[in-house]
C-alpha cells in the first residue's frame, strides 16, 4: 500500500470521482481509504474496483461520510453545493483537509465553509490545474494594465452534462479581471444577453457559456478594443490535470493551520 495520508473521494461514480480514485491509487504519496456516494446509489455496498469495471480492490462504496471521514487525513470533493457544505462540517470535526472542486456555491454556502475553516484546512478552487491558475494570474495582470477602452469577455465551453453556468473557472477568471481593475465583479458582471439588451455597458465583464458534446474545459479571456484584441486561452483535454491538482492540494494541506486556501497557495503563486 502507498504511504502518506489516507484520502476519501466523494461522488465516487462521477467522471471526476473515478479520475480522482485512479490518480490517488496510482500515487506513491497517498492512499485511498474510502469512496463515498449518495444514499440509494447503485454503487453502495459494492466493491469499488468492481463498480468501476475492474478487479476487486477491497474498498466498499459507502454512503456514511461520518465513519469514512473519521479515518481520513483528507477528503477530495467534486460534488454539489448542498453536499459540499455538509461534508465541510464533518471534515472540520475530523480535522481533515477538505479539498473542494465543487462549483455553483452561493454566498450562504461560502459562509458555511468559512465557519468550517476555523477548525480545519479547506482548499477550494474553481479549477485545480496549474495552467488555469497561471491564466488567472495573467488575467489579473493584463486587466490591471489596460483601461476600460478594452472590453473584457470570458468565453467558456464544457460538456453537455455540466449543470452550472458560468463555470467556476470562468467566475474565477472574472474575479481576477475585476481585481486587476480594482472593481467588484458583482457590480460589473454581464451574464445574460437575450433579445434587445442595448449596447454593452463600458467597464462590464461579460460571460459567454457554451455546452456541447464531451468538451472537458476551454476558457478564453478576451480584451477587445477598437482595432485590436488580446486573447488569453487555456484548453484542458484530460480531466487528469484536475485530479493531479486536487491530490497536490490534499498533500500540501497536511500540517497546515486551519483556514481557507486556494490553488495559488498550493502552487506558491499567491501575490502578497
Residue with cell 501575490: 271
pTM, two decimal places: 0.81
What's the pLDDT band for 269 if we cut at 50, 70, 90? confident
What's the pLDDT band for 1 if we cut at 50, 70, 90? very low
Class of domain 6-124+239-266: alpha beta
| pLDDT tens track for 89-135 | 999 999 999 999 998 899 999 999 999 999 999 999 988 998 999 99
Could you tell me where the beta strands, DSSP code E, fall in the chain?
6-9, 31-35, 74-77, 97-100, 121-124, 151-158, 189-190, 205-211, 217-225, 228-236, 259-261
* Grid cell at residue 123: 482548499
Q: Is 162 a catalytic residue?
A: yes
Give me the catalytic one of 114, 119, 158, 199.
158
| pLDDT tens track for 123-170 | 999 889 989 999 999 999 999 999 999 999 999 999 999 988 999 899
Domain boundaries, the chain: 6-124+239-266, 130-236
- Residue 191 gets which letter from DSSP? -
Give me the catalytic one of 114, 119, 162, 219.
162
| pLDDT tens track for 184-199 | 999 999 998 889 889 9
Name the CATH topology of 130-236. Dihydrodipicolinate Reductase; domain 2 (3.30.360)
Q: Is 248 a catalytic residue?
A: no
Amino acid at each position: 500500500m502507498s504511504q502518506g495520508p489516507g484520502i476519501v473521494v466523494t461522488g465516487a461514480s462521477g467522471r471526476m470521482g473515478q479520475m480522482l480514485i485512479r490518480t490517488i491509487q496510482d500515487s506513491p504519496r497517498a492512499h485511498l481509504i474510502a469512496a463515498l456516494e449518495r444514499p440509494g446509489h447503485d454503487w453502495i455496498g459494492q466493491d469499488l474496483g468492481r463498480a468501476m469495471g475492474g478487479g476487486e480492490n477491497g474498498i466498499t462504496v459507502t454512503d456514511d461520510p461520518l465513519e469514512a471521514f473519521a479515518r481520513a487525513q483528507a477528503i477530495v470533493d467534486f460534488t454539489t453545493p448542498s453536499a459540499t457544505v455538509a461534508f465541510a462540517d464533518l471534515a472540520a470535526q475530523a480535522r481533515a483537509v477538505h479539498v473542494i472542486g465543487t462549483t455553483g456555491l452561493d454566498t450562504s454556502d461560502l459562509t458555511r465553509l468559512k465557519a468550517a475553516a476555523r477548525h480545519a484546512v479547506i482548499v477550494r478552487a474553481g479549477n485545480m490545474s496549474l495552467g488555469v491558475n497561471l491564466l488567472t494570474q495573467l488575467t489579473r495582470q493584463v486587466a490591471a494594465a489596460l483601461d476600460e477602452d478594452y472590453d473584457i469577455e470570458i468565453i467558456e465551453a464544457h460538456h453537455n452534462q455540466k449543470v452550472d453556468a458560468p463555470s467556476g473557472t470562468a467566475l474565477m477568471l472574472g474575479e481576477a479581471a475585476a481585481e486587476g481593475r480594482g472593481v467588484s465583479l458583482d457590480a460589473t458582471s454581464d451574464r445574460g444577453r437575450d433579445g434587445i439588451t442595448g449596447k454593452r455597458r463600458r467597464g462590464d465583464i461579460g460571460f459567454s457559456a457554451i455546452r456541447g458534446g464531451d468538451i472537458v474545459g476551454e476558457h478564453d479571456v478576451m480584451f477587445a478594443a477598437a482595432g485590436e484584441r488580446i486573447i488569453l486561452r487555456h484548453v484542458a483535454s484530460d480531466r487528469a490535470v484536475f485530479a493531479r491538482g486536487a491530490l497536490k492540494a490534499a498533500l500540501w494541506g497536511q500540517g497546515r493551520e486551519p483556514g481557507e486556501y486556494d490553488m495559488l497557495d498550493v502552487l506558491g503563486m499567491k501575490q502578497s
